[in-house]
Structure 1
């Protein structure tokens, strides 16, 4: 009974009717969801004549799992973090995706050779490479004192004021360790030990009383815009969109970034399985990935999509310097270890929640 209640609660916010004649895509809302709507959902629907809609979630992995376990699946395609795509695939929650359904690059290179390493998995296809970074409001911090390192985020003496952080262990613990001087190559080795976990939380202790926690991607730039925080971690594309498309005085600090693939996946029992596969093939084609990258500053996961310059939808802003995989942005960066989080997610989030609740 308790499990049924939990599933019913999880499904309550997503009680959309499943339609065999309409494709439902679930993503993260805000600038990211808008980018996928404009780059993928609308043009695919226009091309095929098959109705499609986008719905939002703070984290699509949760309703996907709940719907599949309840046997009431209304989502056809979901945008998932890499570790979640691997974990849910292992749990039998996602449909398998044969790489043979994916088109070759525009240069004729087969998909298996065109996608970057690790960008196509058993149940997911990468839509982009995104990063957890941090940003600040340039009107609140003088240029001659601008933060440039992960350590600066934790320096309350030099930069007094509230901080925004994503509410969860993933990405936050890695960032804390890099800010504490752990080299990116040693982060997961350190975090695999009790002493390393303690070290990460000890670093977080130094700012805990000044943290404003956010959960949805759109909240982070809003915290900056409202002046609730002086700096905040955020998804890099959300800060870029706020700065370039909305004219906000925000600047990204790339030092200590944690980057990973985002994946399109299909929940087990999706009402429009074949159309879902067609949609993913279209969206992750060379042109589909380029179109998304021209709407938000996440790097496309196909080599062919990077052969021509990418320009933001404003027609003038070059995207290359603004994506996580730009050479200059990778100097002190970390690629998220999906296997680490598949194995340790529950354990470390339990520790994180206990730490959060403690005085």
Structure 2
């Protein structure tokens, strides 16, 4: 009887039933699990919305195909910076109206860089060391390049991204000037010349789990990776690793709405909910990523905040990554980097 009544109500109010359904797409794993606890479950409970979750691997082609076929079934998608820029340029994401979110765009770290997506979290490329093996460890990016003071192998990602920025920092370029310098041929030459000074001492990694393992095995004295990898090694594996936040390079994940979603208004409601300071602060209880909303900081417990990329002390000399630079120059620099590695 209850089922029949519910069916009758749905048939009588098809638009209402449709309006209260939303498909949210993200990357799976511990990250999507943190989104479930901080945003998806609370939003569904508060609004009565039925949320369907899907996972993907960041394929812009899937968004493009839906939009071009005018058959959009994804309503809110977690995208990386490159997808946010490329998909916006293609016109397959809705331009974001911050008035509908109810948050000051200037309060969102990186908010001014994206017209079609709203930053949600910050993760960061950092470098770290094992305090059991280095009692007085590195403090700055310059120390990463100082093989006399800190002899031994260091691990770096097999990618020019951030390595070129760090090379210029170690060569005396201020963080605010990095992309101005790196946009010139002379600046690129300068970065590679600095990388030459440590090339023979580098172990190149391609998976984020490698650096914590190399540190634990004593095969390197320090190494770069993503902050969450080191945090997990400290928290779950009880390693005495130390993150060096100098020159950290935060990157973003962002919420976006595919062009032509029939539930744009509800998608905006979800993004507004997921952007509230207290809700972004809540996500930090489940994963060591920083909130993009700077007004979330006072809501985060001090013992949690100190391990986040967005902590004010950790952001003091951070690199504000220019995603447009890497979108424009990335392929060219990767080709040069790979040729340099082969030399």
Report the Cα distance in structure 1 between the residues aligned to 2:339 and 2:268, rounded to whole angstroms: 40
**Aligned counterpart, 2:13:** none
Shift of 1:197: 0.7
1:181, distance to aligned residue in structure 2 (A):
2.4
Distance 1:148 1:180 in 2: 16
* RMSD (Å) for aligned C-alpha atoms: 3.3
Superposition pairs of residues 243-254 of structure 1, within 5 angstroms:
243-254=234-245
Deviations 1:264-284 (A, max 9, x none): 223446686555434322211
Greater Cα offset, 250-259 or 335-344:
335-344
Distance in 2 separating the partners of 1:200 and 1:77: 39
Tell me the CA shift for residue 135 of structure 1. Answer: 1.1
Counterpart CA distance in 2 for 1:125 and 1:188 is 23
Pairing partner for 1:320 from 278, 302, 305: 305
Query: Larger Cα Rg: Structure 1 or Structure 2?
Result: 2
Shift of 1:198: 1.6
**Change beyond 3 A, Cα 1:153–1:52:** farther
Query: Gaps (5+ residues) in structure 2?
Result: 1-19
Matches of 1:237 and 1:249, distance apart in 2: 15
Matched, 1:343 2:338: no
Alpha-carbon distance in 2 for matches of 1:131, 1:92? 28
Please name the residue that 1:3 is paired with. none
- Report the CA distance between 1:183 and its aligned residue: 1.9
| Structure 1 residue 125: Cα displacement | 0.9
Q: Which secondary structure does the structure 2 equivalent of 1:95 belong to? A: coil
Residue 280 of structure 2: SS of its match in structure 1? Answer: helix
Matches within 5 A, 1:293-332: 293-308=284-299, 310-311=300-301, 318-332=303-317
TM-score, normalised via structure 1 length: 0.74
Which consecutive unaligned segments of at least 5 residues does structure 1 have?
1-19, 104-110, 312-316
* Partners of 1:31 and 1:218 within 8 A in 2: no
Which residue of structure 1 aligns with residue 107 of structure 2?
A: 115
Q: Is the 8 A contact 1:131 1:236 kept in 2?
A: yes
Name the counterpart of 1:68.
Answer: 63
* Alpha-carbon distance between aligned partners in 1 of 2:73 and 2:159, rounded to the nearest angstrom: 27
Please give the alpha-carbon distance, in whole angstroms, between the structure 1 residues aligned to 2:65 and 2:219: 39
Give the match for residue 239 of structure 1.
Answer: 230
Cα drift, residue 325 of structure 1: 4.0
1:54 to 1:150, Cα distance in 2 relative to 1, 3 A = farther
TM-score (norm 2): 0.77
Provide the rounded CA distance (Å) in 2 between the counterparts of 1:288 and 1:94: 24
How far has the Cα of 1:253 moved from its partner?
A: 0.4
Match of 2:86 in 1: 87
1:114-193 matches, cutoff 5 A: 115-116=107-108, 118-119=110-111, 121-139=114-132, 141-144=133-136, 146-193=137-184
Q: CA deviation at 1:124?
A: 0.9
Residues 141-168 of structure 1 show CA distances to partners (whole Å, capped at 9, x for unaligned) of 2313x11121222334444444332343
Count residues with an aligned counterpart: 317
